[in-house]
Structure 1
Amino acid sequence: MFRKAHRITGATLFIFFFIIAGTGLLLGWKKNTGDLLGSKTYNGTTTELTEWLPLSQLQLKAETYLKNSVPVGSELQLDRIDIRQNKGVAKFIYNDYYGIQIDGATGTLLHVDRRRADFIENMHDASLLDDHLNTGGYIKLAYTTIMSLSLLLFTITGFWLWYGPKRMRKGVHQ
C-alpha cells in the first residue's frame, strides 16, 4: 500500500516537484549571484525621513524613469513600494518585474533592473498562473496545499519503506 501510494504520487507530481526544487534552489542562492537574480540595494544620500521628498513625488519620478528605460508597450502598474530607510532608498516594484531604486531625498535614479527573483518566486508558488488567469489566489492555494500534502505523504511512506524492512528483519532474527 505504501509503495503504491509513494509511486503513484511521485509519478503524478514529478514535474511539479522538479519546478519547486529548481526554483527553490535558485531562490536560496539569489543573494550570492550578484545582480543575476537579485539586485543589490543602492544607497541614497540620507536615512533621515524628514529630508525625503513626499512619496507621491518619488512615485512620479519613478514612473518617468521607468517610461524612459523600458520597451515601449510595457504596461506600467505599480505592485508595491519598498522603503529602505537605513539605505536612504525607495524601491518601486512594477507588475512586469521591473524595479526602480530612487534616492529618497533627491529623487535621483539609482538603479533600474528586471526583477528575475520575483518571477522565479511567482513560478515557485504558482502565483504566476494566478496572475495570468486572474483567479484571485485560488490556484496558488490549491497548488501549495496539494504539494505540501504530497510532500507529507512522501515523508511518511518513504520512512515506512525504509523502516518497515528493518523492523521485519529484527523480528525474524529474534
Structure 2
Amino acid sequence: MRAVAMNRKIHRWAAIATALPVLVVVLSGGVLLMKKKLEWIQPATQKGVGHELILSFDEILAIAVSVGHVGIQGWEDIDRLDVRPGKGLVKVQAKNHWEIQVDTKTGEVLQVAVRRSDLIESIHDGSFFHEHVKLWVLLPTAVLLAGVWATGVYLFFFPYVKKRG
C-alpha cells in the first residue's frame, strides 16, 4: 500500500474514532472558558469585610447547616472549603453542588447558589462517566489525535513535495 493511501486511511479512521470524545472535551471546555463570566456556571466570588479567618471550622459548619435548603447536615455533606483570606470569605462547597459563601469575620452568609463548574469539569476530564475514562478513553484519544495531526500534515504537504521532486 502506498504511503499516501495508508495515511488517508489512518487519518480517516482515527478522526472517526476520536470524534465523540473530542466533541465532549471541546464543548465542555468551551463552557468552562465562560465560568468566570456566567454565574449560571460558577457563582461570582463575593467579598467579606475582614482579611483573616476568625471563624472556627465548627462555626463554619453550623452556618452551612443553618442554610436549610442546601441540605448540609454534617461534614459528610461537604466536598471542600475554599478559604479566600484576601477576599474575607470561605466557600463551603457541598457534595450536591451547592455553594455557600460566608464572611470569615462576621459569619454572614454572603451568597448561596448552585455551582455547576465542578460537574462540567468532571464531564470535561471524563470522570463523570467512569473513573477509568481518563486513562482508557481520553489518553488513547490524545494519542490518536496526534496521529491525525501527523497524517494531516503529511497529506497536506505531500502534493507540494511531489511537485518539486
- TM-score (ref. length: structure 2): 0.85
> 2:83 is paired with a residue of what secondary structure?
strand
Aligned to 2:122: 122
Q: What is the CA RMSD across the aligned residues, in angstroms?
A: 1.9
The answer on 1:41 being equivalent to 2:45 is yes
Q: Does 1:55 align with 2:60?
A: no
Of all paired residues, the percent bearing the same amino acid is 29
User: How far does residue 104 in structure 1 lie from its aligned partner after superposition?
Assistant: 1.0
1:157 aligns with 2:151: yes
Report if the CA contact (8 A) 1:38-1:117 is conserved.
yes
1:8-65: CA deviation from partner (whole Å, max 9, x where unpaired): 11112211111111111111122222x122211011120023xx11122112311331
Shift, 1:71, TM fit: 7.0
Paired residues of 1:100 and 1:109 also in contact (CA < 8 A): yes
Unpaired stretches in structure 2, ≥5 consecutive residues? 1-5
For 1:158 and 1:83, locate their aligned partners in 2 and report how far apart those are by CA, in whole Å. 47
Structure 2 CA distance for aligned equivalents of residues 77 and 6 of structure 1:
47
| Cα distance between partner residues in 1 of 2:63 and 2:137 | 38
| Count of paired positions | 157
Query: Where do residues 24-103 of structure 1 align in structure 2 (5 Å cutoff)?
Result: 24-33=29-38, 35-49=39-53, 52-65=54-67, 68-70=68-70, 77-103=77-103
For structure 1, the 5+ residue unaligned runs are 131-136
The Cα of 1:144 is off from its aligned counterpart by 3.0
Letter in 2 for 1:126: G
Match of 2:17 among 9, 12, 18: 12
- Structure having the larger proportion of residues in helix: 1
| Counterpart in the other structure of 1:141 | 135
Taking structure 1 as reference, are residues 129 and 60 closer, same or farther at Cα in structure 2, changes over 3 Å only? farther
1:161 & 1:92 partners in 2: Cα distance? 52
Tell me how far apart the structure 2 counterparts of residues 13 and 105 of structure 1 sit (CA, whole Å). Answer: 50
TM-score by length of 1: 0.81
For residues 55 and 71 of structure 1, do their structure 2 counterparts lie closer, same or farther at Cα, with a shift above 3 Å needed?
Answer: closer
The higher relative CO (CA closer than 8 Å, separation ≥ 6) is in: 2
Any conservation in 1 of the 2:89–2:104 contact (CA below 8 Å)? yes
